[in-house]
Structure 1
């Protein structure tokens, strides 16, 4: 039987990146972030791109990579933020500099419904 200590691998670092869906390449920001922990860049890029292929290529995906001291890694990919969807639907690059005072754009109820419909699979 293995003990709990044998099952837990020592963690070297936790790396948080934002990478475009299907756009992971061994260039910055992915290369330098993973290279300093001697992780397999090509394995990460291949796995990340496979997991995010259902999203459009310009969609920013938040990824959390756990690097272990034996040069292995695990990663989780989070869905795009609601803020990104709202800005994309409104057609603006950034929100208001003075929220509550200046309105940058408005959205129809249909836009909000479509965004919520995309997230309904997470609620179930």
Structure 2
């Protein structure tokens, strides 16, 4: 559509993203300049994706102030910060690793993810099981309520 050679573009894209694990959403910006010149610029995955992935859950909380969808440790926050510090949105503001980590903690809170100092796999497994049971009970209650509304009409 923009007149760039698609074969060369695919080759360049694959070369640039070869170290990225398949399935990870990767924001890519494509800058096209006539005639047939383009530049690919990739950024790290979003903080949201990294937090939800690291927290081992499918999605964030529906009611973030009232429920905890998952947990991550401070170590996880700093691992994510080390990836995200390379992101242009942080580099242009000359943010320190600590500031990036604080930003990621804010993102975690907005997703309903609790940041804890330590967390064992067993404790987290129990937490996820409890959350799943709560979701089932809530879903059953909503279904019963919806069935009651349908009968009233």
Instruction: Tell me how far 1:60 sits from its aligned partner.
Output: 1.3
Runs of 4+ that moved beyond 3 A: 117-124
Q: Deviations over 1:83-111 (max 9, x none)?
A: 21111111122212222222211112232
Partner of residue 39, structure 1 = 4
Partner of residue 117, structure 1 = 82
Where structure 2 has 5 or more consecutive residues not aligned to the other structure, the ranges are 88-95, 98-153
Aligned residue runs from structure 1 range 9-24, under 5 A: none
Q: Deviations over 1:44-89 (max 9, x none)?
A: 2211221122221222111111223423222211111222111111
- Counterpart check, 1:56 vs 2:50: no
Q: Which has the higher strand share?
A: 1
Aligned with 2:26: secondary structure? strand
Alignment partners' CA distance in 2, 1:65 and 1:117: 24
Aligned with 1:60: secondary structure? coil
**Largest Rg, 1 or 2:** 2
Partner of residue 56, structure 2 = 91
Verify the 8 A CA contact 2:44 2:83 in the aligned structure 1.
no
Alignment partners' CA distance in 1, 2:58 and 2:10: 27
Where structure 1 has 5 or more consecutive residues not aligned to the other structure, the ranges are 1-35
Q: TM-score, normalised by structure 2?
A: 0.49
Alignment partners' CA distance in 1, 2:82 and 2:40: 26
Q: Which has the higher helix share?
A: 2
Greater relative contact order (CA < 8 Å, ≥ 6 in sequence)? 1
Report the number of matched residues.
89
Alignment partners' CA distance in 2, 1:111 and 1:121: 17
Note the aligned Cα RMSD (angstroms): 2.3
Q: TM-score, normalised by structure 1?
A: 0.59
Aligned with 1:118: secondary structure? helix
